[in-house]
C-alpha cells in the first residue's frame, strides 16, 4: 500500500512539473518577445525581431509599439518628453517590469560576445550553441528554466527565471496530496477495521452462544441488542429455535424422570406385596393343608394382588396426569353436587370410624372432568376420616371466593407436624409410618390429588396444627373465568 502511494506521489509530481514547465515556458516566451521588442535602434534589433517573427508570426506583441506594452500610469509624463527620451523611458519601464518579476535576460552576438543583459544574470551562464534549426528552444539549467531565441545569423537571446519557488510549491502540493491520501487511506483502514469488527462481533456472539448451547447449557441465549438489522432478526429466530429445543429437551427429561420415578416407585412398593404372595404360596405348598388353610392362603394372595393392582393403577394414573395425557372430556361441572356425592359415598366409612361428616355447599360451577373432580373430593375426605380420632368431625365446604371455586376439607384430628407439611403431597410419604403400613393405604392419594388439581389449573394448600387438626384448601377457576380466558387466548 505504501509503494502504491509513493508511486502515485511520484507520478503526480511528474505531471504537475510538466504542466508547470509548460506554463513557465509560455510566460518566458512572452517575456522574451517583450525583451526583443525593446531592442530597437540597435545593430542587432532587426535580426532578433526577424527571428521572433519567424518563431511567433502571429504574436500581437511584435506589431505593437513599446508604449502599448506598458501601463498608462505615467503616459502623460512620457508624452512630454522628446521622442528619443520617451522611447528610452518606455524601454526601461518594460525591462524594469521584467526584472522585478525575477526574470533575467542576456543576448550574445555571433562571436559569443554579450551585447545585452540584465543585472540578475547568473555568473556561471554560458552562451548556448548556435543552432539554426531551432528558433525557440527551452532548457533547464540547475534550478533555472530558460527560453532561447536564435537567429539565422547566430544571434542568441536568452530569458530565464529561477524555479526554486515553483519547485517548493509543487513539492508542498505533492506532499499535501500524499499526506491527504495517506490520511484518507488511514481513515479508510480504520473505518474498514471498525466496520469489519462491528459486523463480525454479532456473528462471534452467535457462534459463542451456539457453542455453549451445544455443550449442554440450553438456557443460554443470544443477546439481541439490534432487532432491526438482519443479524438481529436472525438472532431472534435462533433464540426462538433454541426455546423450542430447550422446551423439547425439558419435556423429554421430565418424561424420562417420570418414567424412572414410576419404575423406582413400582419396584419399591411392589417388593413387599410380591414377597407376601410368594411367602403365602410357598407356605401353602410346603406341606399338605386343610381346605380352610388353602382358602386362607389364597385369600391372602388375592388381597395382596388387589393391593398391587390398586398400586399399579394409582401409579399409572399419577404418571398420566403429570404428563398431561389424561383424555377425559371436560365441561362445566357443579362442584357442589360432585362434592355432595363424594361425601355420601364416604359417610358409611365415617360412621365406622366414629367420625361425623358435615357438609356446607353453595351452588358453584367450575370447568373440568366430573370423575377427576370427584376423585379429588374422595381423596381429601377419606384422608380426613382416616387420620381423625374417634368422635372427631370433618367439615366439607364448597363456595366461590375471588373468582375461584373453593373446596375446603377441615378436620379436628391429630394434625400434621410442621416438619412434615412440605412433604405431604409427595408420593409414598407417610406422616405416621406404622399406622399407614398396617391400614393398607398406598401413600399416593395426596400426590394424585395435587396432580389432578394442577391439571385443572388450580392450587391446593394445607395448614395444620399438631393435635388440633388440618385444613386442605383447593382453588379452581370458576367456569365463567375459564371460558373468558379461553376466548381471550383465541
Q: What is the pLDDT of residues 61-80, one digit of tens each?
A: 454 444 444 444 444 444 55
Domain termination site, one of 273, 296, 325: 325
- Provide the pLDDT for residue 261: 67
Give the span between the Cα atoms of 147 and 32, in whole angstroms: 8
Residues 321 and 335 in one domain: no
Report which of 406, 373, 377, 371 is spatially closest to residue 394, judged by C-alpha positions: 377
Residue 124 located in a structural domain: yes
455's CB contacts (< 8 A; 6+ apart) are 321, 324, 326, 372
CA angle 23, 99, 145 (to 5 degrees): 35
CA angle 182, 185, 190 (to 5 degrees): 125
319-325: long-range contacts, CB 8 A cutoff, minimum separation 24 = 319/258, 319/259, 319/262, 321/448, 321/451, 321/452, 321/455, 322/258, 322/451, 323/255, 323/258, 324/455
Give the span between the Cα atoms of 288 and 203, in whole angstroms: 83
Residues 158 and 299 in one domain: no
Residues 480 and 395 in one domain: yes
Residues 92 and 77 in one domain: yes
Residue 191 located in a structural domain: no
- Provide the pLDDT for residue 262: 65
Give helix 164-214 / helix 230-286 axis angle, nearest 10°. Answer: 20
Residues 236 and 289 in one domain: yes
Residue 197 located in a structural domain: no
In DSSP notation, 200-229 reads HHHHHHHHHHHHHHHTT-TT-----S-SSS
- Provide the pLDDT for residue 192: 82
Half-sphere exposure of 35 (CA within 13 A, CB side): 27
Residues 136 and 231 in one domain: no
CB atoms within 10 A of CB 272: 13
CA angle 237, 242, 246 (to 5 degrees): 150
Supply the pTM of this predicted model. Answer: 0.46
- Provide the pLDDT for residue 336: 93
Give the span between the Cα atoms of 327 and 320, in whole angstroms: 9
Residues 144 and 238 in one domain: no
150's CB contacts (< 8 A; 6+ apart) are 51, 128, 130, 131, 132, 134, 135, 137, 156
* CB contact burial 196-208 (16+ within 10 A = b; e otherwise): eeeeeebeebbee
- Domain encompassing residue 12: 2-162
Residue 129 located in a structural domain: yes
161's CB contacts (< 8 A; 6+ apart) are 24, 28, 101, 102, 103, 104, 144, 145, 146
Residues 298 and 339 in one domain: no
Domain termination site, one of 325, 349, 384: 325
Report which of 430, 444, 462, 478 is spatially closest to residue 321, judged by C-alpha positions: 444
Residue 427 located in a structural domain: yes
Asked if residues 224 and 235 have their Cβ atoms less than 8 Å apart, the reply is yes
Residue 355 located in a structural domain: yes
Asked if residues 82 and 131 have their Cβ atoms less than 8 Å apart, the reply is no
Report which of 232, 251, 238, 244 is spatially closest to residue 211, judged by C-alpha positions: 238
Residue 347 located in a structural domain: yes
Half-sphere exposure of 339 (CA within 13 A, CB side): 26
DSSP class of residue 42 equals: S
Residues 122 and 245 in one domain: no
Domain termination site, one of 309, 325, 341: 325
**Nearest 5°: phi and psi at 312?**
-65, -45
- Provide the pLDDT for residue 408: 95
Helix or strand (DSSP H, E) at 28: helix 2-37
Domain with residue 316: its CATH number is 1.10.287
Residue 172 located in a structural domain: no
Asked if residues 397 and 361 have their Cβ atoms less than 8 Å apart, the reply is yes
Residues 346 and 483 in one domain: yes
**Nearest 5°: phi and psi at 300?**
-65, -40
- Provide the pLDDT for residue 43: 62
Structural domain count of the chain: 3
In DSSP notation, 88-135 reads HHHHHHHHHHHHHTTEEEEEE-TTS-EEEE-TT--TT--PPPP-TT-S
Residues 23 and 147 in one domain: yes
Those residues of the chain that have pLDDT short of 70 are 1-2, 5, 9, 39-91, 94, 131-134, 199, 224-229, 231, 258, 261-262, 264-272, 311, 314, 318, 322-327, 432-442, 481-490
Residues 333 and 317 in one domain: no
CB atoms within 10 A of CB 375: 18
Residues 5-21: tens digit of each pLDDT: 677 767 877 888 888 88
CA angle 390, 393, 399 (to 5 degrees): 160
Amino acid at each position: 500500500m505504501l509503494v502504491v502511494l509513493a508511486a502515485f506521489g511520484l507520478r503526480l509530481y511528474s505531471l504537475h512539473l510538466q504542466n508547470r514547465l509548460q506554463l513557465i515556458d509560455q510566460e518566458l516566451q512572452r517575456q522574451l518577445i517583450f525583451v526583443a521588442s525593446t531592442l530597437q535602434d540597435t545593430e542587432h534589433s532587426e535580426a532578433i525581431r526577424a527571428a521572433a517573427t519567424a518563431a511567433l508570426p502571429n504574436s500581437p506583441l511584435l506589431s505593437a509599439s513599446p508604449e502599448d506594452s506598458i501601463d498608462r500610469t505615467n503616459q502623460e509624463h512620457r508624452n512630454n518628453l522628446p521622442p528619443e527620451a520617451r522611447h528610452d523611458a518606455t524601454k526601461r519601464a518594460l525591462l524594469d517590469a521584467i526584472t522585478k518579476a525575477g526574470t533575467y535576460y542576456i543576448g550574445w552576438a555571433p562571436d559569443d560576445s554579450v551585447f545585452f543583459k540584465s543585472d540578475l544574470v547568473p555568473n556561471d551562464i554560458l552562451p548556448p550553441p548556435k543552432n539554426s534549426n531551432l528558433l525557440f528552444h527551452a532548457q533547464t539549467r540547475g534550478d533555472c528554466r530558460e527560453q532561447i531565441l536564435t537567429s539565422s545569423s547566430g544571434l542568441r537571446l536568452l530569458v530565464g527565471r529561477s524555479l526554486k519557488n515553483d519547485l517548493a510549491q509543487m513539492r508542498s502540493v505533492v506532499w499535501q496530496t500524499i499526506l491527504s491520501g495517506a490520511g484518507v487511506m488511514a481513515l479508510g483502514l480504520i473505518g474498514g477495521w471498525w466496520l469489519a469488527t462491528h459486523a463480525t462481533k454479532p456473528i462471534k456472539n452467535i457462534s459463542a452462544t451456539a457453542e455453549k448451547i451445544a455443550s449442554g447449557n440450553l438456557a443460554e441465549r443470544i443477546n439481541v441488542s439490534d432487532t432491526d438489522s438482519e443479524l438481529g432478526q436472525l438472532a431472534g429466530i435462533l433464540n426462538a429455535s433454541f426455546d423450542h429445543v430447550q422446551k423439547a429437551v425439558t419435556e423429554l427429561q421430565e418424561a424420562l424422570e417420570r418414567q424412572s420415578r414410576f419404575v423406582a416407585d413400582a419396584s419399591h412398593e411392589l417388593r413387599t406385596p410380591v414377597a407376601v404372595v410368594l411367602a403365602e404360596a410357598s407356605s401353602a405348598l410346603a406341606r399338605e393343608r386343610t381346605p380352610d388353610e388353602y382358602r386362607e392362603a389364597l385369600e391372602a394372595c388375592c388381597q395382596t394382588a388387589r393391593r398391587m393392582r390398586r398400586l399399579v393403577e394409582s401409579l399409572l394414573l399419577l404418571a398420566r396426569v403429570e404428563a398431561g395425557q389424561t383424555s377425559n372430556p371436560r365441561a362445566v361441572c357443579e362442584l357442589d353436587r360432585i362434592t355432595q356425592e363424594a361425601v355420601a359415598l364416604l359417610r358409611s366409612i365415617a360412621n365406622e370410624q366414629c367420625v361425623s361428616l358435615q357438609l356446607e355447599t353453595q351452588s358453584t360451577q367450575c370447568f373440568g372432568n366430573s370423575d377427576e373432580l370427584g376423585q379429588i373430593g374422595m381423596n381429601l375426605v377419606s384422608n380426613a376420616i382416616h387420620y381423625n380420632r374417634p368422635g372427631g368431625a370433618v367439615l366439607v365446604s364448597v363456595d366461590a371466593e375471588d373468582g375461584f371455586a373453593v373446596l375446603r376439607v377441615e378436620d379436628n384430628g391429630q394434625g400434621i407436624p410442621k416438619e412434615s407439611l412440605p412433604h405431604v403431597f409427595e408420593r409414598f410419604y407417610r406422616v405416621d409410618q406404622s399406622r399407614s403400613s398396617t391400614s393398607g393405604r398406598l401413600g399416593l392419594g395426596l400426590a394424585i390429588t395435587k396432580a389432578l388439581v394442577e391439571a385443572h389449573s388450580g392450587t391446593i394448600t394445607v395448614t395444620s396444627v399438631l393435635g388440633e387438626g388440618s385444613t386442605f384448601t383447593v382453588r379452581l377457576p370458576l367456569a365463567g373465568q375459564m371460558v373468558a380466558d379461553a376466548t381471550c387466548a383465541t
